[in-house]
Amino acid sequence: MQLVHSPAELLSVLRKDQTGTPESLGLVPTMGALHAGHTELIRRARAENTRVVLSLFVNPLQFGPHEDFAAYPRDLAGDARIAEDAGVDILFAPPVSQMYSSGFASRVSVEGVSEGFDGASRPGHFTGVATVVLKLLNLVQPTRAYFGEKDWQQLAVVRRMVRDLNVPVEIVGVPTVRSALPHETGLALSSRNTYLSAEQRSRAAVLSRALRAAQALYAAGERRSKALLAAASAELASESGLTLDYLALVDGDMNEREWVDNEGVSAESLAEYRLLVAARLFGVRLIDNMPLISADALTAAL
């Protein structure tokens, strides 16, 4: 028998198999329709853990009444093949009734970081995300859980919830995987891209070009946030099929920031600044984000 006094020790004991070998479990939460962004999360989880669980659950709680819950792409057989090839050990794909039994009445609400941007455009969305993510963390009890930077605000919400509620898991953010196809270079991979035709996808790559334009201006020495956002706006304006939802510069706490210069901003906090964009293109709402300063330039600056 082992006598354990601290929560940290309890976890480390629980995470060893019967021979005492440490076990680690990586969880990759998804809504399915798997693409190379998801397989990158799985690859990271595979490399950093002894076992990998992939959850596949289209969570009704995070969709608004007029959103695409019913239309969301579903292909369990195809996803299972991709997951197996990528080295997933356990695929957890519960029906809605298993996750939300009748009388379900609890919600996790994360204030502050949830409120602007996607939180403002999709009321209740992040409460739905936080609730299901906490349920998945409780069910799987992973050592690490993997989330894409593509959903930057979601990552901020999950990190805040895990810190606030003492959830014993390490949250790992994985950089956005982008299309390398010549006609849509830079487009952030997203399950919702499947709603677009090839031509529409190539036009949707304007989102990443806009963020890169602001990044390039920053790299060239421009420090006024309005000028950076104007460069991105000009690029977005070149696409007639686009309706902008938001374009903003935010700090690490998801607060919108305006700059005339960045004197006094440390390299560490600079690394947390992000340019965010959300827009509707051909009836599909897409999001993207990039750091203000590229990873290479940041390494050089630090």
Ligand X SMILES: Nc1ncnc2c1ncn2[C@@H]1O[C@H](COP(=O)(O)OP(=O)(O)OP(=O)(O)O)[C@@H](O)[C@H]1O
Ligand Y SMILES: CC(C)(CO)[C@@H](O)C(=O)[O-]
Interacting residues toward ligand Y by CB under 6 A: 29-31, 59, 62, 129, 132-133, 151, 154
Task: Determine the residue with CB nearest ligand Y.
Answer: 29
Q: Is 235 in the site for ligand BAL (CB under 6 A)?
A: no
44-73 positions binding ligand BAL, by CB under 6 A: 62
Q: Is 119 in the site for ligand X (CB under 6 A)?
A: no
Q: Is 188 in the site for ligand X (CB under 6 A)?
A: yes
Q: Is 151 in the site for ligand BAL (CB under 6 A)?
A: yes
| Residues designated catalytic | 38
| Binding site partner of 211, from ligand Y, ligand BAL, ligand X, none, Cβ cut-off 5-8 A by kind | none
**DSSP letters for the chain:** -----SHHHHHHHHTB-TTS-B--EEEEEE-S---HHHHHHHHHHHHH-SEEEEEE---GGGS-TTSSTTTS---HHHHHHHHHHHT-SEEE---HHHHS-TT-------TTTTTSTHHHHSTTHHHHHHHHHHHHHHHH--SEEEEEGGGHHHHHHHHHHHHHTT---EEEEEPPPB---GGGTTPBP-GGGGGS-HHHHHHHTHHHHHHHHHHHHHHTT---HHHHHHHHHHHHHT-TTEEEEEEEEE-TTS-B---S--TT--HHHHHH-EEEEEEEETTEEEEEEEESS-HHHHHHH-
* One of 174, 206, 242, 247 touching ligand X (CB under 6 A): 174
Q: Which residues are annotated as a binding site for ATP?
A: 31-38, 148-151, 177, 189-192
Q: Which residues are annotated as a binding site?
A: 31-38, 62, 148-151, 154, 177, 189-192
For ligand BAL, the binding residues (CB under 6 A) are: 62, 151, 154
